[in-house]
Amino acid sequence: MEINIYQFVEGARQAKGLTVIIDVFRAFSAACYVTANGVKDLFPIGSIETAYRLKKENPGFILMGERGGRIQPGFDYGNSPFAVKSVDFTGKTVVHTTSAGTQGIVSAVHADEIITGSFVNAGAVIDYIRMKNPQHVSLVCMGWEAAEEADEDTLFANYVKNGLEGKPNDFEAIVHYLRSDSKTGKFLDVRGDVSAPSEDFDLCLCLDRFPFVLKAERYGEAMIRLAKINVNEWRSIG
């Protein structure tokens, strides 16, 4: 198994094999919380204009996401796990567009398979890759605004790589570094902003909270849907 780590949109375009698009704070943590709360369809979208068009055509759709870290006009939710963790999404369709994470999904055009990655489902991601045992694994760190390296995404990529290679990980040290020493500390400096509540820090670092991966699948002619795959159930079937 060859494992390569890439960055940003250009890295997503280079990715091949089984590809993990990584956005710890916050896109693919929030996506897991929404999925766990019963969402019917979760569509990752690159263009905010497309998101608005889908909402206009389907008024019942829920818009979630951000630009520049801020919830956008007309959106129901930002990109915050705290905002959605207690919301019942049963039977709902969510359109999710962000500055980094969803850009990686739509840009990974050469990947054989795409799943998302965050610490909230890290164990499931590692187990899924082990079970698939692909020749190539691409770990794509989307970073801040898909333009600046984000420590949490790089640390997650190395966490997965270590797990696949049978090397130890020190998650407590990762959390301490992100809280105390990393630029990610600015994550905690926001006060009174519903787009970026400080509670998201712990929610995004709730290790292995979810036993599933989110796999990008084609939906219709031009859409991508994130499908929930419970790794334990998939293991027993496969």
What angle (nearest 5°) sits at the alpha carbon of residue 34, between those of residues 32 and 38? 110
Residue 1 CB-half CA count within 13 A: 19
CATH number of the domain to which 42 belongs: 3.90.1560.10
Residues in CB range of 130: below 8 A, 6 or more apart:
164
Residue 197 and residue 187: Cα distance in Å, rounded?
A: 9
Instruction: Determine if the pTM surpasses 0.75.
Output: yes
pLDDT digits (tens, 9 = 90+) for 81-125: 999 999 999 999 999 999 999 999 999 999 999 999 999 999 999
238 pLDDT more than 70: no
Range of the domain at 75: 2-237
Stretch 145-150: mean pLDDT: 92
- Name the pLDDT band for 181 (thresholds 50, 70, 90): confident
Hey, what amino acid is at 197? P
Contact 3, 125 (CB under 8 A): no
Residue 37 pLDDT: 98
| Sign of the alpha-carbon dihedral angle for 175, 179, 180, 185 | positive
Contact 29, 96 (CB under 8 A): no
Among 16-30, 38-52, 98-112, 224-238, which stretch is predicted with the lowest mean pLDDT? Answer: 224-238
187 pLDDT more than 70: no
**pLDDT over 90 percentage in the chain:** 86
Q: How many domains does the chain have?
A: 1
